[in-house]
Structure 1
Amino acid sequence: MTEPVAALGRRGWEVLLVLGVSLGQSAVYSVLSIAEKLTRPQPLGQQTTQINTSVTPDRPWLDLSYQLAGIVFPLVPALLALYLLRLSGDRGRIGFDLTRPLRDFGWGFAIAAGIGIPGLGLYLAARAAGLNTTVQPANLAENWWTVPVLIGLAVMNGVLEEVVIVAFWFTRMRQAGWSVAAVLIVGALIRGSYHLYQGFGGFVGNLVMGLVFGWIYHRYGRVAPLVAAHIILDVVAFVGYALLAPYLTWL
């Protein structure tokens, strides 16, 4: 028992445990989801994937409670990762702070535009080729809290993914002796894999996003602009879809 533990090292176990309660777990379920979709009689390109759905649409107060829980609890692994980084003295090195918010959000907008526009084209192409499901990213019942909850979900996604699969992953795996190329590629593969439930377009798009985000973090050592970019991308996808879907049939 002690040899595998020693071989992996404390840093490696930290990564496995954090991934096991967050994005690594999501990756496993996503692989199972795409397997289930591929074994249906209906072709993948004719299927629909709904994200951010109501749980109890007939009871708005209870639905809101479910949605808030769905925002708060997924943030716990990100907080755990930040706590572990703080214990080891690495917390201040990842650039997750509010020391320069305007610059971080400015870079976030630029990164989001550079990723989002080609990403939309890739999604439409993959869907047309039958390699992706039709993704409906906002399916909450209409309530006064619908848009704020969608924004909250976008913030949760941005913080969870970029803190765990970029800042924490890069810090710990580099400390474990991995090369930059290995950290970049494996991190991007994990990011792509937990989006496989959408189809192969979602996998490829997020794989590319992972490589780009990983390179930016390696180059500049600051995760805050990546968190901002991810939040912006998801706000546009979630809120934009909720507002525009009734008028744009190609969505």
Structure 2
Amino acid sequence: MAAEELDWGSPRPTRTLLGHEVLLLLGVSLGYSAIRSVLSLIDKLTVHVPLNQQAAELNTAVTPDRPWLDLSIQLTRIAFGVVPALFAVHLLNRGPGLGGRLGAPEILGYARRRVGFDLGGGALLAAAIGIPGLGLYLAAKALGVNATVVASGLGDVWWAVPVLVLAAVENAVLEEVVVVGYLLTRLRQLGWSTPAMIAASAVLRGSYHLYQGFGAFVGNAVMGVVFALVFLRWRRVGPLIVAHTLLDIVSFVGYALLAGHLSWL
């Protein structure tokens, strides 16, 4: 058969294909992070040091003696960190959406520009999650079920704060697009019930934070439930990205600026 006579069209995705797609995307992104996080927690629990006397380091320097190279490495990591989210958007544009044949702009909500709503809703979500979250972290650490989170290890370099802000944006875009927008959409298409979808998204979010300890798992799983409910209600990932970005900026930049002055950090 001549090449021009071949049917180059793509078949409508089946449940099996969609299931494989979900597993493969998670396998190269946050599913892989969850497995690594579980192994990291096992490592922490099997050494002869209490969990709350160990550290979970984020945003660490790679080549601290060569700051310009380290800056390049940090920016490269951030840039490639959002690729799975962009891939998820691409996949949503190729397959059927939550309410029919919708594309990523409709599914994720950015087809309708509501900047004020996203910013205001995100700020409210950040306040509702952040204050109880800090209390849970301190309680879990006091109970010995959480490591000390070192939110910034970039050192005293001029570009530390901008990089931490970019890292916060990267985390927010990756997690909210993949774990909420994409995953809930695909699980709905696979026939999952709403409670099961929310539970899966929340457990996944908690799992890739297990390297910090059990308190981080609980806190992030609860956050996952709240964010999933908000997405299903508003059909927008914008407020979730804003809220997550604000939470991480406060954590990362706040730690970098205040850790030397506040012993409880």
After TM superposition, the score normalised by the length of structure 1 is 0.95
Structure 2 letter corresponding to 1:225: P
Does 2:161 match 1:147? yes
Residue equivalent to 1:171: 185
Residue equivalent to 1:3: none
Q: How far off its partner does 1:98 sit?
A: 7.2
For residue 90 of structure 1, the aligned residue among 103, 107, 116 is: 103
**Secondary structure of residue in 2 paired with 1:135:** strand
Contact 1:127 1:133 in 2 (8 A): yes
Contact 1:97 1:224 in 2 (8 A): no
Residue equivalent to 2:71: 64
For residue 170 of structure 2, the aligned residue among 150, 156, 162 is: 156
**Secondary structure of residue in 1 paired with 2:186:** helix
Matches within 5 A, 1:230-245: 230-245=244-259
Separation in 1, partners of 2:68, 2:120: 36
Contact 2:110 2:238 in 1 (8 A): yes
- Residues 61 and 183 of structure 1, relative CA distance in 2, 3 Å threshold: same
For residue 82 of structure 2, the aligned residue among 64, 75, 86 is: 75
Contact 2:202 2:222 in 1 (8 A): yes
Structure 2 letter corresponding to 1:43: P
Contact 2:53 2:148 in 1 (8 A): yes
Residue equivalent to 1:104: 118
Residue equivalent to 2:9: none
Does 2:194 match 1:188? no
Q: How far off its partner does 1:106 sit?
A: 0.8
Structure 1: which 5+ runs fail to align?
Answer: 1-5
Q: How far off its partner does 1:13 sit?
A: 1.5
Residue equivalent to 1:32: 39
Structure 2: which 5+ runs fail to align?
Answer: 1-12, 96-101
Contact 1:116 1:233 in 2 (8 A): yes
Does 2:215 match 1:215? no
Does 2:54 match 1:47? yes
Residues 102-141 of structure 1: per-residue CA shift (max 9 Å, x gap): 2201110100000000000000000000000000101102
Moved more, 25-34 or 43-52: 43-52
Count, aligned residues? 246
Q: How far off its partner does 1:74 sit?
A: 1.4
Identity between Structure 1 and Structure 2 (%):
57
Residue equivalent to 2:134: 120
Contact 1:46 1:134 in 2 (8 A): yes
Residue equivalent to 1:21: 28
Separation in 1, partners of 2:184, 2:57: 31
Separation in 1, partners of 2:146, 2:111: 36
